[in-house]
């Protein structure tokens, strides 16, 4: 997403597009988290994330078990489409 800019959203580092949060990231003591700022996006890819800890707004993973690139690309594509609505 070349047009994304670095910023902060909800107190976390995030990429923004058109002034809206696209994807946030946080490193915790025992895991990493991706925040797509959309429960609908997580629901759309949940069936491809077996073995990951999911919540309404978060995908948790570890460096030993990262989110697959194709799923991450789909998350960005779906979130971008929501922003463009």
pLDDT of residue 1: 83
CA atoms of 64 and 47, how far apart (whole Å): 20
Q: Provide the domain count of the chain.
A: 1
Q: Give the containing element (helix H, strand E) for 20.
A: strand 20-27
The confidence score (pLDDT) of residue 85 equals 86
CATH number at residue 26: 3.90.1150.200
Q: Supply the range of the domain harboring residue 18.
A: 5-84
**Sequential pLDDT tens for the chain (85 residues):** 889 999 999 999 999 999 999 999 999 999 999 999 999 999 999 999 999 999 999 999 999 999 999 999 999 999 999 999 8
pTM: 0.92
**Buried/exposed 34-58: b ≥16 CB within 10 Å, e otherwise:** bbbbbeebbebbeeebeebeeeebb
């Amino acid at each position: 997403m070349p047009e994304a800019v670095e910023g902060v959203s909800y107190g976390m580092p995030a990429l923004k597009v058109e002034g809206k949060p696209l994807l946030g990231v946080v490193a915790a003591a025992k895991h990493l988290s991706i925040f797509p700022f959309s429960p609908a996006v997580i629901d759309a890819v949940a069936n491809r994330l077996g073995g990951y800890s999911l919540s309404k707004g978060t995908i948790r993973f570890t460096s030993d078990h990262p989110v697959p690139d194709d799923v991450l690309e789909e998350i960005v594509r779906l979130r971008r489409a929501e922003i463009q609505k």
